[in-house]
A and B are shown apart, each in its own frame.
Chain A
């Protein structure tokens, strides 16, 4: 049962929080804001490459 002062949304967020990778967060927090945004762009490019590879595979 949900504790007083909390909502079921808090309980849902707590469930999600169990799966948060805190090691990854600690590593991210060591980086500068600019490095974090550069990482995001690299990650986007990587995801785009994977999507393209997936499309090429299904079309072959």
Chain B
């Protein structure tokens, strides 16, 4: 089981700049679909990569689904040479994304994110409209199902205040 609370706290306590996307963002907006991992888009600055390494090192991140014993090292060199990482940690599964299809990187998504306060931490979450756009762009059948639910959520919420 993924401990969303502990994962978000570990990242925010270390000062990592990230935006929650994917299934957890959908849950934040009201989705009832089950998701197992936390997907976040992280900022790829040297300072932030160092914070990311420090935040997760205590939880022994490892490549999810890879056989045990590979010489995987969780350090900035590894992150610099990669982009997206699907990890398993002692707190649960975490997808660290440098970029997402249809959305780009952290700085592209930042204007479409909102700050949420949850479990006594503040973090950024992709807003509903942008989440629908990137899910559409991902183009997998399961994403279209998710888009259908998210569009229904948007209809049920009605227009934003002041619109």
Residue tally, chain A, CB below 8 Å to B: 26
Hey, which chain A residues are within 8 Å of B156, CB to CB? Answer: 22, 25-26, 29
A24 vs B148: C-alpha distance when bound (angstroms): 14
State how many residues of chain B have any CB contact under 8 Å with chain A: 30
For window 103-149 of B, CB contacts with A under 8 Å fall at 116-119, 136, 139, 144-145, 147-149
Closest to B148 in A: A16
Contacts of A20 in B (CB 8 A): 148-149, 152
Residues of A within 8 A of B34 (CB): 40, 43-44, 47
In whole angstroms, how far apart are the Cα atoms of A29 and B2 in the complex? 23
Residues of A close to B118: CB separation below 8 A: 33-34, 37
- Determine the distance from Cα of A54 to Cα of B151 in the docked complex, in whole angstroms: 34
CB distance from B34 to the nearest CB of A (A): 6
Beyond A33-B116, A36-B30, A41-B4, 8 extra complex contacts between A and B, CB < 8 Å: A13-B136, A17-B149, A25-B32, A25-B153, A28-B32, A33-B117, A36-B27, A44-B36
Which residues in A have some Cβ–Cβ distance to B below 8 Å? 9, 12-14, 16-17, 19-22, 24-26, 28-29, 33-34, 36-37, 40-41, 43-45, 47-48
